[in-house]
Structure 1
């Protein structure tokens, strides 16, 4: 399917790590030229389109969702000095190489073509959304939700390939969230020759670290799949010079959250005098709450794999947070299904398989045309 590979290459070539405008322009222009959909471009640069069930107020809306921002490229991934200039795109050995090929302009192209080609059943409105700012905390998705974007169901086209076994594209029914927080231990400065005259913030930080280590990591079960969270101290910063008792020490915590549960970091903070807890980022987890939707998506994926002579995919859990978390938090039943394989995103050799993109296109189109 050369059209899919060509569209992927054209999107990957457009720089979008600092400014997503040009990539959004290209997506909007393609949708207006290739479809009769109602296309919108919002104030932050999200591109959203709708087709089908225009006169049915009770229509169920299924959205195919991606994002067109990327992380900064490596020098080898651009045609200019440093990370400036057009992105380098290469096609070889059945794969497309370039920044954003896997995360996630390849799957985005598959969504665009599936949105164009699918004929949704009666009572179904089909939506397409490409968000900005996914890599910096989901700013585009959050803006769209605030402005009323509220599909009943969504397939978020982040990576789910090679999770259960090599050579398959699975359907993720849940993913972890990420809460980044800081425990701030406060003390009283004094000369280090008289430590009893002060209150050592580093000691207080050490005590609260011990309290954090006693906490249980969160855990949940979704469709029989175990979602295990984690909790780790990743940085400690305290003191200013060798001969002064430190009056401040900061402890950074990375927590992977799960649907419906979180570690009780607040309890650890309260257990030590002079310690405050600050949440720096909180990306929500996702769990699909609609059995019929999850089963329909897996059936579609299995049919496509069977037609291609591939092993059957399964329901899996994804370890990384995505925009599905924001949508799920707002009430949308979400799944994650996409072409990116573990170890491809954000690397200087990032690539995606053309055959996997074609597989994803067929899964999206099949599901979009199916009642569930």
Structure 2
């Protein structure tokens, strides 16, 4: 059976249609087929597809071009499955329950409603619907597009990523760095510890440095980001009767987007001066670019609260190409990936109305 999307339906119905097409990462074929078919029926758009990533564009010769981006995949379903979707009443408000309602098919529904209902927008639009955001970076459809055809992203004056933000604007994103801090000792029988040196005991100094570290609040383009340096894992020891000769503390640094990854690493090296560090993950942050005219116009037109994105999102891929990027979409990000994932239907309507207001 062919999955069909009704772009003439209201935003809640369209979100349900999208969510009810199961599309766990690496299995986005059905939903990509449905999105492509719906877009190709719109004569004012040019549409292309590579794999399960779809690009649709207006070409009206406007002074600005804005990218509207969203991913099609979700994390796996729960057991029992949190699909199909259903409408519920919670604390006096209507919510849409089910996998993808927050992350991020409500945002995709907003993109599709804009594509269908605004044939002559006030700025040219590039719609991106991409695959495999929820898994390893090597599969990410936006990353692949940026490597294959970077001008599709670079030509934009602004990018909007429709991740859930409770229908508020969250500018840019923090960077993330993970390092392993290693202490070394000498193995010995635990009955004769004086013949060895306990590496786990030495890790107390690593943890104390983390406890003493003063977390910074950094203002970037008018938004205040809260930096965080935290131990997120610890391992050591090979048996219950052996003094461990190695202990590894995994530390995660979430740094404000005024810093480069190189600067973030230099800071962590300074905190753990004298220790051996191994970098296991590094992703640059993204400045919100709220000083750019295109971003200012978006914020002014929406008239919603504006804050920082305290996590990391794919807006960083745009920032790396010099394109300011903003997160905006329905859904509470704290409910993403939860078995009880749900979004107030009022947020779906508010997000759609805000974007239409901006493009009028």
TM-score, normalised by the number of residues in structure 2: 0.84
Partner SS, residue 338 of structure 2:
coil
Q: Among 246, 264, 268, which residue is 2:271 paired with?
A: 268
Gaps of 5+ in 1: 79-86, 162-168, 303-312
**Contact 2:292/2:324 (8 A) holds in 1:** no
1:72 aligns with 2:72: no
Q: Among 223, 227, 233, which residue is 1:225 paired with?
A: 223
Residue of structure 2 in register with 1:131 after alignment: 130
Q: What per-residue deviation string (whole Å, max 9, x for no partner) do you get for residues 185-213 of structure 1? A: 33332333443444432234333333343
Q: What per-residue deviation string (whole Å, max 9, x for no partner) do you get for residues 31-65 of structure 1? A: 1123542222224x222211123xx5x95320111
* Change in 2 beyond 3 A, CA 1:278/1:342: closer
Residue of structure 1 in register with 2:99 after alignment: 99
* Change in 2 beyond 3 A, CA 1:358/1:252: same
**Contact 2:165/2:329 (8 A) holds in 1:** yes
Cα distance, 1:230 vs. partner?
0.9
Residue of structure 2 in register with 1:280 after alignment: 281
Report how many residues are paired. 337
Residue of structure 2 in register with 1:355 after alignment: 346
Using the TM superposition, name which of 247-256 and 174-183 deviates more: 174-183
* Change in 2 beyond 3 A, CA 1:237/1:246: same
Q: What per-residue deviation string (whole Å, max 9, x for no partner) do you get for residues 1-54 of structure 1? A: 8432222111101222242222222211211123542222224x222211123x
1:319 aligns with 2:319: no
Residue of structure 1 in register with 2:253 after alignment: 255
**Contact 2:220/2:287 (8 A) holds in 1:** no
Gaps of 5+ in 2: 1-7
**Contact 1:178/1:285 (8 A) holds in 2:** no
Cα distance, 1:250 vs. partner?
1.7
Q: How does 1:300-315 map to 2 (within 5 A)?
A: 300-302=301-303, 313-315=304-306
Residue of structure 1 in register with 2:37 after alignment: 29
Q: Among 58, 79, 99, which residue is 1:51 paired with?
A: 58
Q: Distance in 2 between matches of 1:67 and 1:186?
A: 43
Q: Distance in 2 between matches of 1:236 and 1:50?
A: 48
Residue of structure 2 in register with 1:208 after alignment: 206
TM-score, normalised by the number of residues in structure 1: 0.81
Q: Distance in 2 between matches of 1:183 and 1:137?
A: 24
Residue of structure 2 in register with 1:60 after alignment: 64
